[in-house]
Amino acid sequence: MNKTIRLTAAQAMVRYISNQMNADGEQFIAGCWAIFGHGNVAGLGEALYGVRDTLPTYRGHNEQSMAHAAIAYAKQLGRKRAMAVTSSIGPGATNMVTAAALAHVNRLPVLIIPGDVFATRGPDPVLQQVEDFNDGSVTVNDCFKPVSRYFDRITRPEQLLTALPRAFATMTDPADCGPATLSMCQDVQAMAYDWPVSFFEPKVWHQRRVRPDVAELARAADLLRDAKAPVILAGGGVHYAGATEALRDFAEAHNIPVVESQAGKSALPWDHPLNFGPVGVTGASSANHLCENADVVLGVGTRFQDFTTGSWGLFKHPDRNLVSLNVAAYDAVKRGAAPLQCDALVGLNELTEALGNHKAPAPDASLKAAWFASVDPLTDTPTDANTLPTDQQVIGAVQRASSDDTVVMSAAGTMPGELHKLWKASRAGSYHMEYGFSCMGYEIAGALAIKMAQPERDVICMIGDGSYMMANSEIATAAMMGLKITLVVTDNRGFGCINRLQMGTGGEEFNNLLDKAYHVNPSNIDFVAHTASMGATSVKAGNIAELEAALEQAKTVDGPFVVVIDTDPYPVTQDGGTWWEVAIPEVSDRETVNEARVKYVEALSRRMN
Mean pLDDT, rounded, for 288-305: 98
**Burial label, 279 (beta-carbon count in 10 A; 0-12, 13-18, 19+):** buried
- CA dist 241 and 246 (Å) reads 10
The CB density around residue 113, as the number of other CB atoms within 10 Å, is 27
Handedness of CA 334, 336, 337, 342 (dihedral sign): positive
pLDDT category of residue 2 using cuts at 50, 70 and 90: confident
User: What local confidence, expressed as pLDDT, does residue 4 receive?
Assistant: 97
pLDDT category of residue 608 using cuts at 50, 70 and 90: low
Contact by Cβ (8 Å): 519, 493: no
pLDDT category of residue 1 using cuts at 50, 70 and 90: low
Mean pLDDT, rounded, for 307-330: 96
- CA dist 295 and 341 (Å) reads 21
User: What local confidence, expressed as pLDDT, does residue 606 receive?
Assistant: 83
* Residue 536 CA: distances (Å) to CA of 231, 378, 474, 546: 45, 30, 11, 18
- Mean residue pLDDT of the chain comes to 96
Closest CA to 272 of 287, 262, 292, 257: 257
pLDDT category of residue 386 using cuts at 50, 70 and 90: confident
- CA dist 577 and 360 (Å) reads 26
Which string of DSSP letters, residue by residue, matches 362-400?
PP-HHHHHHHHHHHGGGGSPPS-TTSPPPHHHHHHHHHH
pLDDT in tens, 89-148: 999 999 999 999 999 999 999 999 999 999 999 999 999 999 999 999 999 999 999 999
Return the ∠ at Cα 570 (arms to 569 and 572), rounded to 5°.
110
pLDDT at 281 over 70: yes
pLDDT in tens, 134-191: 999 999 999 999 999 999 999 999 999 999 999 999 999 999 999 999 999 999 999 9
User: What local confidence, expressed as pLDDT, does residue 233 receive?
Assistant: 98
User: What local confidence, expressed as pLDDT, does residue 330 receive?
Assistant: 96
Closest CA to 174 of 331, 382, 44: 331
Q: How far apart are the first and last CA of the chain?
A: 63
* Residue 369 CA: distances (Å) to CA of 284, 374, 378, 529: 11, 9, 15, 43
- CA dist 351 and 231 (Å) reads 15
Q: What are phi and psi of 371, to 5 degrees?
A: -60, -50
What does the longest C-alpha to C-alpha distance in the chain come to? 82
pLDDT at 609 over 60: no
User: What local confidence, expressed as pLDDT, does residue 99 receive?
Assistant: 98
Contact by Cβ (8 Å): 481, 58: yes
Mean pLDDT, rounded, for 425-450: 97
pLDDT at 450 over 80: yes
pLDDT at 49 over 80: yes
User: What local confidence, expressed as pLDDT, does residue 232 receive?
Assistant: 98
pLDDT at 603 over 60: yes
Closest CA to 478 of 564, 558, 563, 398: 558
Percentage of the chain lying above the pLDDT 90 cut: 96
pLDDT in tens, 217-252: 999 999 999 999 999 999 999 999 999 999 999 999
pLDDT category of residue 520 using cuts at 50, 70 and 90: confident
Bridge partners (DSSP) of residue 233 are 259, 299
Which residues neighbour 590 within 8 Å (Cβ) at sequence distance 6 or greater? Answer: 506, 507, 508
pLDDT at 542 over 80: yes
Q: H or E element: which one contains 432?
A: strand 431-434
Contact by Cβ (8 Å): 110, 64: no
Percentage of the chain lying above the pLDDT 70 cut: 100
User: What local confidence, expressed as pLDDT, does residue 324 receive?
Assistant: 98
pLDDT in tens, 543-585: 999 999 999 999 999 999 999 999 999 999 999 999 999 999 9
pTM of the model: 0.97
**For the chain, what is the total number of helices (H) and then of strands (E)?**
24, 22
Mean pLDDT, rounded, for 405-433: 97
Strand bridging mode 230-234 / 296-300: parallel
- CA dist 430 and 485 (Å) reads 14
- DSSP 8-state assignment for residue 564: E
User: What local confidence, expressed as pLDDT, does residue 513 receive?
Assistant: 93
